[in-house]
């Protein structure tokens, strides 16, 4: 099994591919600005247009920007402490500068990595089954929309289901979003929540993923306390934070 340092190195290398930079820039103690470019090894869900992308692993902020947004981005990451660049009120400054250029802050999230000192298979009192792509065909429904993604079915490669007398009550799936990293998402039916099922599913799928030579990662919004608690209970810890800027019409469409 990998060490926690190796886990971090794999994640930083993937972020470097995503940001068109070298992984060592995430360990610097000053802001770093690079030119944005979506390459062949970026995560599968990265899609143009992306005006800017911001990532922090806790030491600094690294920003990747298209040429026309470089000066605003440079001013922003040097104007505020790096950890405040991912929150209001400072985000309002960035948005006000970008809106006349037709851009707005879009996606923001916290990403979690397994802590290999804590990660272990957790039982939940229900039958658990390892699932693969053929098992997912009839599961692309609303109650399993975090575990599986209908728009990218081909990337849903592995899962674990929890069953109560043969009935699926919880599902965790992972998407092969990158060459070496698979993203985990989980759903539990409302009647079965607060029993530790989600953490059990996540921990077991994380172990299955590592057994296959891939690094699992987990994502949630800062405000999703329930999801963050699941990550912690399952043996994950905060890895990095990320924020993207996209065209205003893309953001406005999402808000309709």
Note the pLDDT tens digit of each residue in 209-227: 999 999 999 999 999 999 9
What pLDDT, on a 0 to 100 scale, did the predictor assign at position 53? 98
Note the pLDDT tens digit of each residue in 102-153: 999 999 999 999 999 999 999 999 999 999 999 999 999 999 999 999 999 9
What pLDDT, on a 0 to 100 scale, did the predictor assign at position 178? 97
**What DSSP string runs through the chain?**
---HHHHHHHHHHHHHHHHTS-GGGGG-SS-EEEE----TTS-TT--S--SEEEEESSS--EEEE-GGGHHHHHHHHHHS-GGGGGSTTHHHHHHHHHGGGTEEEEEEEEEEEE-TTT------SSEEEEEEHHHHTT--SGGGTTT--GGGGGGEEEEEEEEETTEEEEEEEEE--SSSEEEEEEEE-GGGTTSSHHHHHHHHHHHHHHHTT-EEEEEE-TT-HHHHHHHHHHTEEEEEEEEEEEEHHHHHHHT-
What pLDDT, on a 0 to 100 scale, did the predictor assign at position 2? 87
Q: What stretches in the chain show pLDDT beneath 50?
A: none
What pLDDT, on a 0 to 100 scale, did the predictor assign at position 1? 72
What pLDDT, on a 0 to 100 scale, did the predictor assign at position 180? 97
What pLDDT, on a 0 to 100 scale, did the predictor assign at position 96? 97
What pLDDT, on a 0 to 100 scale, did the predictor assign at position 191? 98
């Amino acid at each position: 099994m990998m060490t926690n340092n190796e886990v971090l190195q794999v994640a930083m290398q993937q972020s470097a591919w995503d940001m068109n930079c070298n992984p060592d820039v995430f360990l610097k103690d000053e802001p770093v600005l690079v030119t944005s470019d979506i390459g062949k090894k970026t995560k599968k869900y990265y899609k143009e247009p992306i005006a800017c992308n911001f990532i922090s692993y806790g030491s600094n902020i690294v920003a990747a920007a298209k040429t026309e947004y470089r000066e605003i981005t440079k001013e922003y990451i040097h104007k505020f402490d790096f950890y405040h660049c991912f929150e209001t009120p400072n985000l309002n400054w960035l948005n006000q500068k970008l809106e006349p250029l037709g851009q707005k802050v879009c996606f923001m999230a916290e990403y979690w990595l397994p802590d290999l000192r804590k990660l272990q298979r957790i039982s939940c009192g229900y039958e658990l089954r390892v699932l693969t792509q053929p098992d997912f065909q009839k599961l692309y429904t609303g109650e399993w929309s975090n575990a599986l993604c209908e728009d990218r079915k081909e990337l849903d490669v592995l899962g674990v289901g929890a069953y109560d007398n043969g009935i699926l009550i919880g599902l965790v799936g992972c998407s092969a979003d990158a060459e070496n990293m698979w993203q985990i998402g989980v759903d539990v039916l409302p009647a079965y929540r607060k029993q530790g099922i989600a953490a059990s599913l996540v921990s077991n799928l994380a172990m299955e993923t590592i057994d296959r030579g891939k690094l699992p990662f987990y994502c949630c919004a800062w405000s999703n306390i329930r999801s963050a608690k699941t990550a912690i209970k399952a043996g994950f810890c905060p890895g990095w934070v990320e924020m993207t800027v996209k065209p205003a019409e893309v953001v406005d469409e999402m808000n309709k």
